[in-house]
């Protein structure tokens, strides 16, 4: 504050009473650099002139982060009233620039999450009145890294902010060789009455930014409008999206409340998005898509979803939820179905390959806030893919979620059922069989950086696996530790996978740790067989009866060490000789 007052006095002083042009120019440039710079942001001003006149100029202004300069503004002109600062006003006739070049998006650094508590909206109470009649840039250039396209345009805007009342107008016009585009905004707000006015219109020609970012078929022209007038405590706006001159989505959005009452957001939009979808998605979504939303955020930050409903031709999803201010779900009731109205198989969108199902259902419920019990189920009937078919896939589970002194916790049991399995790979089909059952227990404690999976079970026709695993987070490079045991009653089922005739009964036991990202390995493997055969007579003669192999390996930053290799097979017994 002291420096700002000194600056205003220096600007208002006459050359005879105060400083020279050179000293004033250096002081003002330094003041702007120091005021605009911050952590991870360095502002540099060169070629500052006109500090003691009503029109100041800057040859070049750059903003840099740790990776270098990302914004360059050249030819800046400031037509303003210096003396108005002393009367508590910043009056600017024109703030213009010859060019603004933004090569990339700046490095945001460590993200800081906003406070969950709701607060009333109001314009800032600045110590001065701000009135900028014209903000202009002859040429604005955005690099391809910013929005996916190199963009050239021009800017015209104005800003007024005084006594809790603000207004802004903006006209951003895209020029150059790219598609046509323009964004216009006329908005105002008054703290005293809470009255908000918004009129936003964004248009662009074929091959524009929105079309490319959304990968719209044919990259059509697009128009988005948002218009609303009313108090911020009960503000309603109409939204419209059109492409190729035809309406695609329209509806209303309402924002009510504020301050100690929290906020309530309601939305009801619908339309025909089929022309914007890839041909293989039209049958799934259809020509009438609708979304209804009714959500409330309390003053304390808790979110209540009183209604959520999404409908499309082959999809329905609806539910309610309540989320505490700390992010812990306290109540959830969500259901969804996948089914084509004509009874034909549903082609799923966004799959990596052509995937169809006869029908599907999903449900998730959570009740009893504080130490809530959850229950969920997922069912798919008639799965058809090029690499796999299944008559039925079911995943169900239940458990609890709640708060502990150490943090939020999640625990539960999951079960798996697969019937009518038919992999396209004959060797995989022979190994897996036509049905699988499985299950596990899971436990997670917030802040522990690990997920525990216990009582792991997977069983098929003639084989079974069991074990326990602990999976670490990114801080431990996804270090996974545990024990797994697999038993096969008849190894002949794996002959096609091995590429040779196998026979006998076998057991494999694994114990140790593996770094998912680091390549670290510290483990032991034990293989025990009965009557093994691999289709090679000299080897089969050794494997008659019981055979056992024990292997212990350590791999770390210093290399790989074979700690043990013990083999007992019929008359053969082998141990590595100590060095």
Q: Which tokens belong to 393?
A: 């896939």
Q: Where are the alpha helices (DSSP H) in 323-451?
A: 426-432
Least confident of 84-88, 143-147, 256-260, 471-475: 84-88
pLDDT for res 159: 84
CB atoms within 10 A of CB 127: 8
Percentage of residues of the chain with pLDDT beyond 70: 84
What's residue 104's pLDDT? Answer: 84
Better-predicted residue by pLDDT, 575 or 400: 400
Residue (of 416, 417, 418, 482) closest to 453 by Cα position: 482
Residue 525, pLDDT > 80, answer: yes
Per-residue pLDDT at 384: 96
Cβ pair 485, 508 in contact under 8 A: yes
Examine the pLDDT at 8 and tell me if it is beyond 70: no
**Rounded alpha-carbon distances, angstroms, from residue 318 to 9, 362, 523, 541:** 63, 11, 47, 64
Q: pLDDT tens for residues 299-354? A: 888 999 999 999 999 999 999 999 988 888 889 999 999 999 999 999 998 888 89
Query: What confidence score (pLDDT) does residue 387 get?
Result: 93
pLDDT in tens, 19-50: 455 555 566 667 666 655 666 778 888 888 87
pLDDT score at 529: 87
Percent of the chain surpassing pLDDT 90:
31
88-102, 168-182, 332-346, 517-531: which is most confident: 332-346
- The three-class DSSP label of residue 488 is strand
CA 343 to chain centre: 35
Report pLDDT digits (tens) over 177-226: 778 888 899 999 888 888 899 999 989 888 877 777 767 777 888 888 99
Q: How far apart are CA 126 and CA 154, in angstroms?
A: 29
C-alpha distance from residue 494 to each of 431, 467, 497, 504 (Å): 5, 21, 5, 11
**Which residue, among 288, 245, 296, has the nearest Cα to 269 in the 3D structure?**
288
- What's the burial of 265, exposed, middle or buried (CB within 10 Å: 0-12/13-18/19+)? middle
Return the pLDDT at 317.
Answer: 95
pTM comes to: 0.70
Strands (E), 111-150: 129-142
What is the pLDDT, as a whole number, of residue 13?
A: 43
Encode pLDDT of 429-445 as tens digits.
Answer: 988 899 999 999 999 98
Q: Is the pLDDT of residue 423 over 80?
A: yes
Cα 251 to chain center, whole Å?
A: 26
Q: What is the mean pLDDT of the chain?
A: 83
Q: Which two tokens stand for residue 474?
A: 């990114």
**pLDDT tops 70 at residue 555:** yes
Q: Each residue of 387-420: pLDDT tens digit?
A: 999 999 999 999 998 888 877 888 999 999 999 9
495 has a pLDDT exceeding 90 = no
Rounded distance between C-alpha atoms, residue 143 and residue 70, angstroms:
10
Which tops the pLDDT comparison, 1 or 200? Answer: 200
Specify the pLDDT at position 381: 97
pLDDT in tens, 355-391: 999 999 999 999 864 557 899 999 999 999 999 999 9
Task: Determine the Cα–Cα distance for residues 119 and 45; give it in Å rounded to an integer.
Answer: 37
Averaged pLDDT, 502-512: 91
CA distance 50 to 15: 12
């Amino acid at each position: 504050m002291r420096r700002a007052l000194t600056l205003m006095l220096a600007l208002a002083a006459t050359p005879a009473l105060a400083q020279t042009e050179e000293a004033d120019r250096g002081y003002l440039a330094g003041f702007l650099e120091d005021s605009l710079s911050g952590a991870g942001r360095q502002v540099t001003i060169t070629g500052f002139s006109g500090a003691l006149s009503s029109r100041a100029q800057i040859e070049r202004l750059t903003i840099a982060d740790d990776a270098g300069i990302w914004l360059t503004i050249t030819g800046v002109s400031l037509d303003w009233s210096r003396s108005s600062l002393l009367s508590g006003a910043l009056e600017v006739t024109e703030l213009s620039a010859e060019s603004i070049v933004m090569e990339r998006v700046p490095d945001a650094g460590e993200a800081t999450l906003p406070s969950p508590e709701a607060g009333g909206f109001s314009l800032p109470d600045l110590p001065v009145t701000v009135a900028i009649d014209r903000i202009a840039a002859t040429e604005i250039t955005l690099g391809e890294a910013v929005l996916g396209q190199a963009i050239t345009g021009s800017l015209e805007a104005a800003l007024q902010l005084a006594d809790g009342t603000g207004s802004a107008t903006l006209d951003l016009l895209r020029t150059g060789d790219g598609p046509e585009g323009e964004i216009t905004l006329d908005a105002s707000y008054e703290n005293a009455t809470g009255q908000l006015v918004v009129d936003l219109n964004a248009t662009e020609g074929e091959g524009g930014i929105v079309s490319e970012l959304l990968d719209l078929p044919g990259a059509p022209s697009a128009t988005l409008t948002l218009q609303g007038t009313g108090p911020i405590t009960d503000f309603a706006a109409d939204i419209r999206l059109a492409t190729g001159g035809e309406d695609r989505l329209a509806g209303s959005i309402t924002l009510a409340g504020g301050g100690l009452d929290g906020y309530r957001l309601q939305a009801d939009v619908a339309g025909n998005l089929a022309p914007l979808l890839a041909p293989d998605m039209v049958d799934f979504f259809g020509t009438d898509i609708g979304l209804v939303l009714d959500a409330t955020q309390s003053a304390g930050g808790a979110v209540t979803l009183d209604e959520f409903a999404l409908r499309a031709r082959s999809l329905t999803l609806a539910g309610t939820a309540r989320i505490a201010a700390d992010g812990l779900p306290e109540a959830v009731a969500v259901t969804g179905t996948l089914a084509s109205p004509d009874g034909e198989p549903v082609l799923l969108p966004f799959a990596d390959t052509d995937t169809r199902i006869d029908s599907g259902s999903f449900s998730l419920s959570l009740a009893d806030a504080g130490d809530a019990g959850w229950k969920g189920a997922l069912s798919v009937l008639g799965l058809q893919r090029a690499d796999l078919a299944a008559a039925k896939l079911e995943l169900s589970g239940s458990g609890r979620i709640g708060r502990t002194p150490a943090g939020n916790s999640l625990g539960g049991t999951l079960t798996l059922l697969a019937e009518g399995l038919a992999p396209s790979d004959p060797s995989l089909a022979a190994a897996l069989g036509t049905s699988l059952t499985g299950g596990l227990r899971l436990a997670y404690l917030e802040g522990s950086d690990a997920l525990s999976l216990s009582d792991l079970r997977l069983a098929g026709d003639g084989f079974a696996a069991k074990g326990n695993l602990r999976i670490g987070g990114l801080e431990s490079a996804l270090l996974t530790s545990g024990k797994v045991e697999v038993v096969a009653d008849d190894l002949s089922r794996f002959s096609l996978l091995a590429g040779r005739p196998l026979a006998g009964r076998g057991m494999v036991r694994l114990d140790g740790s593996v770094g998912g990202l680091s390549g670290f390995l510290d483990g032991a493997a034990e293989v025990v067989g009965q009557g093994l055969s691999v289709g090679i007579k000299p080897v089969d003669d050794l494997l008659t009866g019981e055979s056992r192999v024990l292997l212990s390996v350590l791999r770390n930053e210093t290399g790989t060490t074979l700690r043990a290799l013990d083999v007992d097979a019929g008359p053969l017994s082998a141990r590595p000789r100590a060095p």
